[in-house]
Structure 1
Amino acid sequence: MKESPGTSRICPALKSFFSDKMGGILHHCNGTSKCRRLDPKLEKKLVESIKRRASSGKNTFRSINSIIMRFPQFKEGLRKIKGVFERYDEDSNGTIDREELKKCLETLQLHLTGKEIEDLFQSCDVDGEEGIQFNEFIVLLCLIYLLMEPSSPHPTSKMGSELEATFNTIVEAFLFFDKNGDGKLNRKEMVKAMNEASPWERSPGHITKTRFKELDSNKCGQVSFKEFLFALINWVGFETDNEEELSI
């Protein structure tokens, strides 16, 4: 069957890659009972920041395919965050403890209260090991980036334009799925996002439902930005790549 002019189709390789990644998404969070929620006040501030982003109408993503094509840029940004993580993991044990995190935030001039730092530490330490691992560190910094809104650009922050650009792109990926801009994802939005660019190749309903359940780690019927961010790290496959590099 011929395609009409101007239409785009997800190539088989990318479609397979997307399906495989979505099939394994968020196992890190599903494998533990420690997926803590943020403090309600911080969660409210986070949602408000995402809503402001949504209301701006600025988003470079128009399809699942466009997100997948940006994976190399995602990975490059994550490598830069990895460098920050290793710099402040002073004892090189693969985790950042509270004191190391405090030094990191002080150096980056990210000014949060002690309670805010502790709540972020607890909510991002999903395996309860009392230390922030790299993927948890990505989530923590991205949450801080959003919580510092609307003072962007942050004249007193030393997070750096490259890191902020990475976090901004991650937020745009989330907003691609968040069709109503309420700061949460529901199954209806996910179905629309996965199918709107390729209506002739709609994902079977049971598959989309399964994928959403995998994202919804606390089974509340909605996917928070934090849940999505943990998923995206797995989706991009950054940790897998690093493990392969170490084994060579």
Structure 2
Amino acid sequence: METAPTKPSLSRKPSPSFRLRNGSLNALRLRRVFDLFDRNGDGEITLDEMESALDTLGLGADRAGLEATVGAYIPAGANGLGFNDFESLHRALGDALFGPIVEEEEPQKEGEDEDMKEAFRVFDENGDGFISAAELQAVLKKLGLAEARSLAAVQEMICNVDRDRDGQVDFGEFKTMMQGITVWGA
């Protein structure tokens, strides 16, 4: 007999960026989060990997609560959450925290720009309107990405999107980069 998933709960107030209004950007972000949590790259996020990732992000999780909430989404016989299971968990958390998504007939350009600005602000730590190599490296380190170890690799990432060749990424360059990303499986 299959048990119904436990209703997700969080002890902290969720970030308003938990669920972006732009579906493609949200799907891309969710895939990246999944890949970051899946430390060994086996296509599943185990409870240990989830706990470790939350600890790294400073969101220490109660193991029993994590097992009750996340464990309900792990299919029988699996070691962890596959991407579709992770997406279902994310959707359930979003619905529990913010209510169900009401699909709009036509996406609003202004809402998409606000989502993009919000994402840009995550990287622009000093708020000067530009993402420098040091800021990008700091965010990559927080995410535990190997690319953060080499400033040269981070500078190359900047160069790939830096159209005006000023050594940093402005909002226009960031937006162009994000709009050019293809989301696989979306």
TM-score range, shorter chain: 0.3 to 0.5
* TM-score in terms of structure 2 length: 0.41
State TM-score, norm by structure 1.
0.32
